Amino acid sequence: MSKNEDNIHKKAVYLPNNEPYLGRESVFQFDQVILSCLEANGKVAVYTHTVELSALRDKGDGSIYIDRR
């Protein structure tokens, strides 16, 4: 096995001492956006499961479609 092939098969393991993104403000801000989106999605999900939807209908199999009638 060549040296390049050997390097391809090694798994990347990041620890606090070699984590390339640790402490980066942009990554922290992105994490905060993800959390906000998850919180908003949780609220929307509760609402859509407790009201009867109009143009947006549940097909019963977990998928949804827009009724354009």
DSSP H or E segment with residue 48: helix 25-50
* Digit-coded pLDDT (tens) for 1-45: 566 666 666 777 888 888 888 889 999 999 999 999 999 999 988
Q: Is 18 helix (H, G, I), strand (E, B) or coil?
A: coil
Q: Would residue 5 count as lying in a domain? A: no
Q: Say yes or no to pLDDT of 55 above 60.
A: no
**From CA 67, how far away is CA 55, in angstroms rounded?**
5
Q: Would residue 51 count as lying in a domain? A: yes
Q: Would residue 4 count as lying in a domain? A: no
Domain count, the chain: 1
pLDDT of residue 34: 96
pLDDT of residue 67: 60
pLDDT of residue 49: 82
Question: Which tokens hold the place of 56?
Answer: 């947006």
Residue that wins the pLDDT comparison between 54 and 45: 45
Q: Would residue 1 count as lying in a domain? A: no
Residue that wins the pLDDT comparison between 67 and 35: 35
Q: Would residue 67 count as lying in a domain? A: yes
